[in-house]
A and B are shown apart, each in its own frame.
Chain A
Amino acid sequence: MTQPLTLFDKIWAQHEILTAENGLSLLWVDRHYIHEGSFQGFDKVDARGAKAARPDLTFAIADHYVPTAPGRVFTDASFKHVVQQLVDNTKRHGIMLMGLDDPRQGIVHVVGPEQGLTLPGLIVVCGDSHTATHGALGAIAIGIGATEVSHVMLTQTFWQKKPKRMRVTVDGKTGPGIGAKDIALSIIAKIGTNGAQGHAVEYAGRAIRALSQEGRLTLCNLAIEAGARTGMVAPDETTFAYVKGRPFAPKGAELDRAIAAWQQLPSDSDAEFDTEVSLDASQIAPVVTWGTSPEDTLPIDASVPDPAAVDDPDKAKQMQGALDYMGLTARQKLTDVRVDRVFIGSCTNARIEDLRAAAAVLSGRKAKVPGLVSAGSTVVKHQAEQEGLDKIFIAAGLTWGESGCSMCLGINGDTVPPGERCASTTNRNFRGRQGPGARTHLMSPAMVAAAAVNGHLADVRPLLQGRA
């Protein structure tokens, strides 16, 4: 009788080369994604006078520092330098680069799945914390630091302590206007930004199964914001249909063989998890963040919390500090919070479905504030243009930009000016995340569109009435 296993356990076992005396496992890496920020990893490899061990399993994409304003012009020589470093580093090590001028360019966590590089059953690593995104296909996807990047480049392996397993079950059916982002932020609000620390999270339940592949990518993207090592969704027909026909995905008989293997991956029905969390999808409202941590999430009809109601003086002081930074007053209604600009983009919410959701709200309406729309990849950008979504954004008064990480962290120069408030589809509302002094409110693409139309944080649902 074999022990029942989780999805995570099964993939882990298939990749475990050995377990050392110290209890750590050496794992095989199927895909290593690299971006401009990986230069420190290259520096470490070069310091050893070595070369990448498996350039055929390593894929580089320019995303963090590329210009995303229309026209793609570098605004600072230092950004261009970092992008050029990636060109030089990948060339020297024989690694494929989807660079600035490549039609497949985009954000690494959008491009990997889109190109069929990320597949169920793989172990995927990248020197970026949002790597968990790829787990949405039923892979183990782990964000790593620069030293680990160099280790993977040199050995195609990495060391990990086996994490605990957490299952987050979202049963029931979400209401209209509720997106994967609302589910993900509601989970973080419930368990906190370290609620899943030391755990690999599997998202399960009817509401998760009902999500499209794009929605699952958004959900797993935010696993790191709950502190998880990784987030994943069991592969199913939705996954297989998504993978089929993508450029780097298996084809023909090889695909059939792969699907047969992938069908064995879902957690056994009697598999045990170290921690169980459950949410009722029908209770999830459209949410926004008010503070400087993703756990500072509330339904849009709520009010800003009051530090005076917090017992711990240090916590109250920290909450007051967050309100001061955000320019908010305790007990102020969230729908009274005016915004200065909006941003639709990032590895969290810039796939075609996200752009469609925002466009459905903005169609025939005007935004009261300026904003940038940056598609998650150049492929998504072209698809959106074929569907006429770009015209909807432009007619609403927003800027239709190019693909990259853009205003999510602003290191390409696209920042939110100091003191300005931005309704954003991104993943982090940390102080200064979108630029020094920038104030970020996280929400779904539909909710960002609603904030644009109203000029303040707003419930998207009334704007959807009479629209599909």
Chain B
Amino acid sequence: MDQFKMQPFTRLDGIAVSLRRDNVDTDQVIPARYLKVPRSEGLGDTLFRDLRFDQNGKARPDFPLNDPARKGASVIIARHNFGVGSSREPAVYALVDYGIRCVVATSFGDIFAGNAVNNGLVAAIVTTEDVEKLLSAVEQTGRAEVDLGEQTIKSGNYVVPFSIDPARKVRLLNGWDELDLTARYKSQIEAFAAKDRAVRPWAVPAG
């Protein structure tokens, strides 16, 4: 039993919040002091911990996720360069454990985007113009519909296209684990390793 098995994603109609910020780094998504918490305990409470709560643990009323009308949000619309910084996969765990299934931004940190797909989280890329439309729309409607197959996000009267790496899209739609794919190539890996050992003998650690 693999408790970390990723779930397929096809369509989602859920509560959405706007996060009008650029460069939301992974230290904001989950502060480093929570990185030692085992996944089995759930990391939803740590999501945006220091943006959501003050030093006394009191909810900051102006932080979008604290709006009572947005309780149970599953979509976040941010702006430019979301998930920049540390490679910490717990940033994705915190989002997923909180209930977020899709983050929309104009760009994502490379490692974050890789971690997202490994946990069934859709990192949807939209244009700068469309992200402004979406931010305004979800502030009005409070909801968004994400269709991964069609690569569209709808909120109110707006429907905007999003881009996502095709290989990642297929994995998300099917809930495929990379390891299942790799297992098909076991013999190629072994053949490569044997040949490489002869071609680059210096590449193994000496001593």
Contact = CB atoms under 8 A, between A and B. Distances in A.
Contacts, number: 192
Given A57-B204, A428-B27, A430-B25, A436 B50 contact: yes
B107 A197 contact: yes
A411 B87 contact: no
Interface residues of B, number: 62
B36 A257 contact: no
A129 B86 contact: yes
A26 B167 CA distance: 13
B42 to A, nearest CB: 14
Nearest to A122: B203
A119 B199 CA distance: 16
B35 A151 contact: no
A242 interface: no
A65 B36 contact: yes
A154 interface: yes
B3 A47 contact: yes
A40 B203 contact: no
A410 B27 CA distance: 12
Contacts of B188: 17-18, 26
Interface string B128-139: 000000000000
Contact of B206 (A30, A193, A251): A251
A57 B193 contact: no
A293 B23 contact: yes
A144 B112 CA distance: 9
B88 interface: yes
B196 to A, nearest CB: 6
A340 interface: no
A20 B110 contact: no
Interface in B101-152: 107, 109-111, 114-115, 118-119
A264 to B, nearest CB: 12
Interface string A244-274: 0001111100110110010000000000000
B200 A430 contact: no
Interface stretch (A155-163, A211-219, A365-373): A155-163
A117 B87 contact: no
Contacts of B50: 431-432, 436
A348 to B, nearest CB: 14
B204 A159 contact: no
The residue among A145, A224, A431 with the most chain B CB atoms within 10 A of its own CB is A145
Contacts of B206: 116, 247-251, 254
Nearest to B166: A22
A82 B204 contact: no
Interface stretch (B7-15, B68-76, B176-184): B176-184
Nearest to B192: A17
A37 interface: yes
B39 A43 contact: yes
Contacts of A432: 27-28, 31, 50
B52 interface: no
Contacts of B170: 22
Contacts of A431: 27-28, 50
B202 A119 contact: yes
Contacts of A92: none
Interface residues of A, number: 82
B165 interface: yes
A430 B28 contact: yes
A23 B166 contact: yes
A121 B200 contact: yes
Nearest to B169: A22
A397 interface: no
A65 B36 CA distance: 9
Contact of B88 (A37, A430, A433): A37
A82 B114 CA distance: 25
A275 interface: no
Interface in A108-131: 116-117, 119, 121-122, 127-129, 131
B201 A254 contact: yes
B87 A127 contact: yes
A44 B178 CA distance: 13
Contacts of A248: 205-207
Contact of B179 (A22, A127, A146, A151): A151
B167 A23 contact: yes
A57 B1 CA distance: 28
B189 A121 contact: no
A48 B23 contact: no
B90 interface: yes
A436 to B, nearest CB: 6
A437 interface: yes
B185 A161 contact: no
B197 to A, nearest CB: 11
The residue among B2, B84, B90 with the most chain A CB atoms within 10 A of its own CB is B84
Contacts of A88: none
25 contacts: A17-B192, A26-B185, A26-B189, A28-B192, A28-B196, A43-B39, A44-B4, A48-B179, A116-B207, A121-B203, A145-B87, A147-B119, A193-B84, A227-B110, A247-B206, A247-B207, A255-B202, A261-B200, A314-B79, A411-B35, A418-B55, A430-B27, A431-B50, A433-B27, A433-B32
Given A144-B111, A314-B79, 18 more contacts: A17-B189, A28-B189, A37-B35, A116-B206, A119-B203, A121-B200, A127-B87, A128-B87, A145-B89, A155-B179, A161-B165, A194-B84, A227-B84, A261-B202, A295-B23, A318-B22, A430-B85, A431-B28
Q: Which 7 pairs show the lowest CB-CB distances between chains A and B?
A: A258-B202, A22-B167, A145-B115, A147-B118, A145-B89, A146-B89, A129-B87
